[in-house]
Amino acid sequence: MAEETSGYENEANMTTTCSAPGKIYLFGEHAVVYGKRAIASAINLRTTATVAESDRTTISSLLGTTGIDYAVHPYISRCIESLNIPAVSIKIDSEIPVGSGLGSSAAAVIATLGALNFEFDLGMTHTALAQAGHAIEQDVQGTASPTDTAVSTMGGTMLITPGVSASRLRLIECSIVIGDTEEFSSTKELVGNVRILHESYPGVMDSIFDTIDHLSEIGVPLIERRDYRSVGELMNIDHGLLDAIGVGSAKLSRLVYAARDAGAYGAKITGAGGGGCIVALVSGSGVGGGADAVASAINDAGGRAIRTKASEDGVRVRKQVI
Ligand code: PMV
């Protein structure tokens, strides 16, 4: 247990600040909802929750300041109500675009639970935090795989086998460029659409999910060998399969093709799709096909490029003077 809280830097004083990362999927979104394997990685975009004991409960974010309010702050309200704690003020700051497939809700949930865990000495390990976060995502969304909350808690590049394990792989070391369509994506709606298609054509959909599972399986040794060219080829295949199950869009494909044409190793939707983001793996060398060229191509195609890297850092908490 002790090592599971080793990310905590305990200094003295007033507020507790906790941050947690967003994530990208290399393989396996949607298929993971049907029990298939997925590979996802934490990135260096983070959400921070700052908590302090207070005479009444407040939640502040870009969306405004409320009390417990399931219309405006469903995830944070559920975090507070799932724990037996006194009144508290919580402030959320995020570098992760909301509703974009980058795990913004999981990062907010894990940062909040991590801060409350520390502030009120609740004794939750990282494993317990990830489980509690997953339960909150399920309560709020109806369906949620354990991927986002596991990766946001543990950090790193991870192989998720739902209901079995979340194991750490070698960190993705090449550059990553995200292309944001800046169109909102509702995970709940997209997962619902895929379910309807699965009910209509179970055989077709199951064989697509099995193929995606196979991509995750053969992706593992390629990541360990740092063969990002081959990982990129498999990501391109996964993008085609995501298109096939109806979660693509013209704009997502424009950004994917812009990134590939500019020399990315591979590019695909990340997360639920419909809108949201694509992710491209690119050479870290800075020469032809590097992050600059891919980011400009995404911007020229009407997206918003975000340059990032994979990150080993999961949830991090500290006390600070205000
Ligand atoms: O768009 P995001 O970051 O919420 O990712 C959704 C991924 C799905 O596989 C579609 C759903 C899930 O809970 O894993």
Per-residue pLDDT at 82? 95
Per-residue pLDDT at 23? 97
Residue 301 CA, ligand 1 centroid: distance in Å: 25
261 and 297 Cβ atoms separated by less than 8 Å = yes
Question: What is the sign of the dihedral through the CA atoms of 211, 214, 216 and 222?
Answer: negative
Q: Helices 104-119 and 147-154 sit at what angle, rounded to 10 degrees? A: 50
112 and 104 Cβ atoms separated by less than 8 Å = no
Residue 237 CA, ligand 1 centroid: distance in Å: 18
pTM above 0.85, yes or no: yes
**Residue of minimum CA distance from atom 5 in ligand 1:** 271
Which has the closest alpha carbon to 30: 207, 191, 165? 191
On whether the 175-308 domain is CATH 3.30.70.890, my answer is: yes
The ligand 1 atom nearest the CA atom of 100: 1
Q: From CA 42, how far away is CA 73, in angstroms rounded? A: 23
Give residues (CB < 6 A) around ligand 1.
29-30, 32-33, 101, 103, 144-145, 147-148, 185, 187, 191, 271-272, 276
Per-residue pLDDT at 204? 98
Sheet holding 304-308, edge to edge: 266-270, 277-282, 175-180, 304-308
Which listed residue (148, 180, 213, 238) is catalytic? 148
Per-residue pLDDT at 318? 82
Per-residue pLDDT at 60? 97
Per-residue pLDDT at 199? 97
Q: Helices 250-261 and 228-244 sit at what angle, rounded to 10 degrees? A: 160
Per-residue pLDDT at 13? 54
Per-residue pLDDT at 313? 96
The ligand 1 atom nearest the CA atom of 137: 13
148 in catalytic set? yes
Stretches where the chain sits below pLDDT 70 are 1-13, 285-289, 321-322
Residue 318 CA, ligand 1 centroid: distance in Å: 29
The ligand 1 atom nearest the CA atom of 23: 3
Q: Please list the residue range(s) of the chain that carry CATH number 3.30.70.890.
A: 175-308
Q: From CA 256, how far away is CA 246, in angstroms rounded? A: 16
Per-residue pLDDT at 289? 61
The ligand 1 atom nearest the CA atom of 147: 14
Ligand 1, pocket-test mutation among 25, 147, 160, 193, most atoms within 8 A of CB: 147
Q: Please list the residue range(s) of the chain that carry CATH number 3.30.230.10.
A: 2-6+13-169
121 and 164 Cβ atoms separated by less than 8 Å = no
- Identify the CATH assignment for 2-6+13-169 out of 1.10.3210.10, 3.30.230.10, 3.40.50.2300, 3.90.600.10: 3.30.230.10
Residue 109 CA, ligand 1 centroid: distance in Å: 15
Our CA angle for 200, 29, 172, nearest 5°, is 160
Residue 117 CA, ligand 1 centroid: distance in Å: 25
